[in-house]
Amino acid sequence: MKTKLTVRVLAAVMGVILILSSFAACSKEKEKAPVVTDESNNYTPEWTVEPTISAQLIQPLVCPIYNENTNHYDISYADCFKIMVDGKLGLIDFKGKFLVEPKYDDIFAIRDGDDYLAIIEDEDSVKQTYIHSDTFKTVSAYKQYNTKKYEYYWNGNSPLFVCNQSGKITEETFAPLLPEAVKGVKKQGGAFEATGKYGLFVNQVNLTGMIYTGAGYYCDGLIAFESNNKWGYLDSNGRTIIPFEYDAVWGYSAMGGKDTPYESFEDCVTVTKNKKFGVLSSTGDVLVPLMFDNATPVVDGKAFVKTQGKWGVLKVYETDGFVTPGNTDSNTEASSTTTTTTTTSSSTSTSTSTSESTTEPSTSKTSESTSESITSTTKIVYTSGNYKVAVDALNLRKGPGADNELVYTVYKDDVIYVSKVENGWGKITIRKDSENVIEGWLNLKYTEKY
């Protein structure tokens, strides 16, 4: 009997040991399981100014310039930013230096101008102050500035190009050369009423139909639209490049009106979702994860971002700005097969490239030329906008690359508008008359930003 009891006790003890062993095994399995992390855990911010700036808000100064060659607003951002401290606005630069002390109720870039307008409002009056964009000196005086605003309307099944000047709308010929967001309207008693719908108008065709509830401006090859209370970005063919999962930026609209996301600029798009900000490339790749509490668009490779209650300046990529023509033969165009032996950032290297003579617009031949180039890890960035041809003659190709069919030639000092950038090539449209429109791509290495 005693032996049986002993066996039972030993069995019970062994059972407890097995149970404890199994818990320990499970515990070890859990410790070995991989930890699920998001992409922000693999990202280390590189600061040019540490997050030490106290401000309620920092937002871009939008510079809209109406381009009469394309009937389109070229949207860009100034390299200084609005900063709000204690409810008042001033200007700050990327070094964290105040250019204009915060004391204004509003500051904005003057449409089709170079300077900024600051506003102080009180109960009885509105005081305007002009701020010079080069010196940041202020002039407290009233001046006239452009109140015209061109818009594209969609009235039923017909496009309209209208000019709204101080509330007076004038209908004009509808002839956009770039993709445009058309605003749905209906005419009531001689006035236009918005329907709340938007579409994408390209090449005289409403490409998408009036299916969106908000729209931004076409810039840098992309345009933002709203669907089901979320924003995404389409390209000039109406394809969704950045999915419809992002939010509008509170208080931001390039030309006033309903809040929108930021425009694509410098091949970067600052986006927000679930109250977090990050930066995507214009192809939708993640450059900066959604990890900051606020952020501005990327200008000159940098952006203001907010984290833990303070603002700093984040380096998104390295840039020295736009490329300038180097030691190139006149009447040549570099091909996409150029090879360069890279050394350090301060050294020169010789590269042999395949080039094309463009002495005659209708013919071309292949020749070998040698050029010197300064190479570094610096990223050269091109964006949409006006450029000037810097060589005697430059081929216009059917696609972004020298192996594409030649369609036209532009010449030295010609000013052209680039609507889209791809691999260092820019897409342009030349309208010779109402029936003769030429589209093509040119190598931006042989142009200057204008």
Tell me if 303 sits within 8 A of 266, measured CB to CB: no
What string of pLDDT tens digits covers the 450 residues of the chain?
444 444 444 444 444 444 344 333 333 333 332 222 345 567 899 999 999 999 999 999 999 998 888 888 999 999 999 999 999 999 999 999 999 999 999 999 988 888 899 999 988 888 889 999 989 998 876 667 777 888 898 988 788 888 877 777 787 766 677 899 999 998 888 788 899 999 999 877 889 999 999 999 999 999 999 999 999 999 988 999 999 999 999 999 998 889 999 999 999 999 999 999 999 999 999 999 999 999 999 999 999 999 999 999 999 987 643 332 332 323 334 333 333 333 333 333 333 333 333 333 333 333 322 233 333 344 577 888 888 888 878 888 988 888 888 888 888 888 888 888 888 899 988 876 556 778 899 999 889 887
Res 20: pLDDT: 41
HSE (CB half, 13 Å, CA atoms) of 139? 9
CB crowding 272-289: b at 16 or more within 10 Å, else e? beeebbbbbbbeeeebbb
Tokens of 365: 């031949």
**Interatomic CA distance for residues 260 and 262, integer angstroms:** 7
Res 339: pLDDT: 32
Q: Taking phi first (over 0 means left), then psi (-120 to 50 degrees means alpha), and beta for anything else, what does residue 407 get?
A: alpha
> How far out from the chain centre does Cα 210 lie?
24
Res 142: pLDDT: 60
HSE (CB half, 13 Å, CA atoms) of 143? 15
Res 377: pLDDT: 40
Pick from 138, 125, 122, 123: which is nearest to 90 by CA? 138
Query: For tokens 């005081």, what's the residue?
Result: 127
Query: Partners of 138 in the beta sheet?
Result: 131
**Interatomic CA distance for residues 59 and 213, integer angstroms:** 24
Instruction: State the burial class of residue 382 (Cβ atoms within 10 Å of its Cβ: 0-12, 13-18, 19+).
Output: buried
Q: CA 384 → CA 72, 153, 264, distances in Å?
A: 12, 24, 10
**Interatomic CA distance for residues 268 and 274, integer angstroms:** 20
Res 21: pLDDT: 42
Res 245: pLDDT: 97
Pick from 239, 244, 302: which is nearest to 273 by CA? 244
Pick from 288, 324, 294, 297: which is nearest to 222 by CA? 297
